[in-house]
Amino acid sequence: MKSVARLLAAAAIVLVSSGAHAATTLRIGLASDPNTLDPATDGSVYGRIIFAALCDKLVEVDRKMQFVPQLATEWSWSADRLALTMKLRPGVQFHDGEKFDAAAVKANIDRYKNMAESRRKSELAPVKSVTVIDPLTARFDLERPYAPLLSILSDRAGMMGSPKEIAAAGANFARRPICSGPFRFFERVDLDRIVLDRFDGYYDKNAAKVDRVVYLPITDNSVRLANLRAGQLDIIEQLAPTDLGVARGDSRIRVADSVSIAYNTFTFNVANGERANTPFGRDKRVREAFELAVDRNVINQVVFNGEYIPNNQVEAPGSPFHFADLPVPKRDVARAKQLLAEAGAPRPQITFFIGNNPIASQVGQVVQSMAGEAGFDVKLEALDGPTMVQRSQKGDYQAAFAIWSGRPDPDGNVTFWFHCKGFINWGKYCNDKLDGLLERAQQVTDLAERKALYRQAAEIYLADRPHMILYHLKWFWGVSRKVDGFQPHPDGLIRVTGVSVQG
């Protein structure tokens, strides 16, 4: 009933917005609500979906995962790779009418680096300063060579907010985010809806094909699909693999899919406060035993109809940075029990945070059952996404089932989680040798050298097991036949530019 009420509210919004012409609205069903609408503090894939329409970035990533212009039209590295110079797009304005220029780039990067609540600090730590060369030229001056910088600027650290608004709002920017994307913020009702309206001042007049985009968080996969089939939604994300048969059999909708750079992982609290004081947190033998008790192939078959890719590494098979000679361990219950006995923890108890949606629940239950056969007492606690992130960041967790949407550069798939100062290192795992390898990999561009460094890094995190990566996803979207122009993307984000809806 709550989901129905949301959709009725969204319909009412559409009617109110109708003016001289019949307004067109694109309604998107999300699996969860974003935790915040400030690029400085956001940490969820759902926030990134909203930002794809709201906040343009300096650099975009195309469907081949190549870096392409957005707010920056071109860029070049200095010979010593200690400076990145960007030429900026002319004629761009923010949603409040303020002009986008090099001074705006500097203001945003300074905020990301210096604001107390910013989660972009570690990503931008190698950036010493931004120099305004002229109104349409900005130079990033670095403390050291930093190969992932373009990747960083293709995500939230490259999103530009109005300097006037970020100065006035400070940490409250998320309440009324003002960026420069093709759609501007209209309203947000937490856990209910986020509404964006077309920005008529956008530099590309043909980018926005609809007047309004309404995002509706509906955690239940079957409810999202039912609303799509009933015509109450136009696009849904994270279509469950178990629902593919139903979706493909409905002539009113089509299924779009893409290979994915995203993965799901169990992150363990190994050093973040009192809740790390468990056998899991203290002894990596217990974490190894847990991994040996679980069969990733069973999870893939039971929950995902065999559609996903069982994996133990941050990079998917086929990537230059995936190492086939470090394979997924086979299930070995006897060895798991032996390790628990050696660790003096024959029946360790642990509570896993899981998302409050059927897919996460199924994964949790399958893992709970398999681990129980080895002696683990696993309890499951279902939470909405923002609450899980908040509690995990504070160390108020033992283990959490998390998704990482993936990044085009390998640094963004490992450093954020595993570096001592990684911005999503919830469990405060820290290994100085691993940090050294990751920092060296950031400074080189030679593929062979980077591969060697990331292989050594993989050997360390796979042995220490602060995470147990389960699988890489495949993205599935359900799309109404009334929708034109939707393009699936490996990063899982919904880009609404060019998307139209027939009346």
DSSP string, 335-364: HHHHHHHHTT-SS-EEEEEEESSHHHHHHH
Residue 22 pLDDT:
60
Element (H, E) at 152: helix 149-153
Domain residue spans of the chain? 2-53+181-252+481-501, 59-167, 261-473
Residue 386 pLDDT:
87
Q: What is the pTM of this model?
A: 0.82
pLDDT tens digits, one per residue of 438-487: 999 999 989 999 999 999 999 999 999 999 999 999 999 999 999 999 99
Cβ atoms of 13 and 212 within 8 Å: the answer is yes
Q: Any idea which architecture 59-167 has in CATH?
A: Alpha-Beta Complex (3.90)
What number of other Cβ atoms are within 10 A of residue 384's Cβ?
17
Give average pLDDT by consecutive 10-residue segment, the chain, 503 residues.
Answer: 50 44 88 94 93 98 94 97 97 98 98 95 95 98 96 97 96 96 97 97 96 96 96 96 96 95 96 96 97 98 95 94 96 98 97 93 97 98 93 97 93 95 95 97 93 98 98 96 97 96 88
Which residues, other chains included, contact 199 with Cβ-Cβ below 8 Å and sequence gap of 6+?
95, 181, 182, 183, 184, 208
pLDDT tens digits, one per residue of 295-322: 999 999 999 999 999 999 999 998 999 9
- Tell me the residue ranges of DSSP E strands in 119-182: 127-134, 137-142
Provide the CB-side half-sphere exposure for 209 (13 A, CA).
14
Element (H, E) at 263: strand 253-268
Residue 308 pLDDT:
96
Distance CA 499, CA 95 (A): 21
Which CATH superfamily is 2-53+181-252+481-501 part of? Answer: Periplasmic binding protein-like II (3.40.190.10)
Residue 17 pLDDT:
43
Q: What is the CATH number of domain 261-473?
A: 3.10.105.10
**Checking DSSP bridges between strand 235-236 and strand 25-30, what pairing results, if any?**
parallel
Beta bridge partners of 99: 93
Which long-range contacts (C-beta less than 8 Å, at least 24 apart) are formed by 444-453?
Answer: 444/145, 444/147, 445/81, 445/147, 447/320, 450/147, 450/321, 450/410, 451/320, 451/321
Cβ atoms of 395 and 369 within 8 Å: the answer is no
Query: Mind giving me the DSSP string for 56-93?
Result: -BSEEE-TTS-EEESSEEEEEE-TTSSEEEEEEPTT-B
Residue 43 pLDDT:
85
pLDDT tens digits, one per residue of 327-376: 999 999 999 999 999 999 999 999 999 999 889 999 999 999 999 999 99
Which residues, other chains included, contact 36 with Cβ-Cβ below 8 Å and sequence gap of 6+?
42, 43, 47, 174, 386
